[in-house]
Structure 1
């Protein structure tokens, strides 16, 4: 589900991101990438699991977004996801915030 606040798309993920949900994630990201200057916060608060292959979709999306002057950040990852992001080095590539509001506020500065 996606909602918009302050011209920022908040992509709310829940459950598990794995091979069964890959198509849905791809479709959601494709829609968001159609915006002129994509500004996206991925809300991971209700996301229980994400495999590393699905995380690569965010890396690809960020490359497109950055080239168009936008940004993509993560908010609210659980301990497992935060450790996964750290282990595979994505915590240096993406801004990660404890809450969606924190990510939006940082973008307004």
Structure 2
């Protein structure tokens, strides 16, 4: 299916809504977008995975590297909307502990 990315900005937060699969063929596009946002001065970046049906190790690598890059720039990067296989891989790898932020009421939990 590929990957489509849509970025919105509201209340000091940049949200990237991803749709499709994050894999070896599409992860560079996500990496580039996340790096550009943080380097442009965004201090709160949210990756919405609600419409993502698959994420492989290259996608996880992009999320981890972007998280570390954001922290180095005094910014935050969190993931929201992960469900099904994507949520399972985040939980199985333990990445949910630092990538999935906030609470459901804040819009930062897994579902």
Which interval holds the TM-score relative to the shorter structure? 0.7 to 0.9
For residues 36 and 15 of structure 2, what CA distance do their matches in structure 1 show? 13
The TM-score normalised by the length of structure 2 is: 0.81
RMSD: 2.0
The TM-score normalised by the length of structure 1 is: 0.82
Q: Tell me: CA distance 1:41–1:29, structure 2 relative to 1, closer, same or farther (3 Å).
A: same
1:30: Cα distance to partner? 2.2
In the alignment, does 2:64 pair up with 1:71?
Answer: no
- Could you list the runs of 5+ residues in structure 1 that have no partner in the other structure? 104-109
1:37: Cα distance to partner? 4.6
1:22: Cα distance to partner? 2.3
Name the SS for the 1:69 alignment partner: coil
Contact 2:13–2:42 at 8 Å: present in 1 too? no
- Could you list the runs of 5+ residues in structure 2 that have no partner in the other structure? 1-5
Q: Tell me: CA distance 1:50–1:98, structure 2 relative to 1, closer, same or farther (3 Å).
A: farther
Alignment partner, residue 13 of structure 1: 18
For residues 101 and 50 of structure 2, what CA distance do their matches in structure 1 show? 12
Contact 2:38–2:70 at 8 Å: present in 1 too? yes
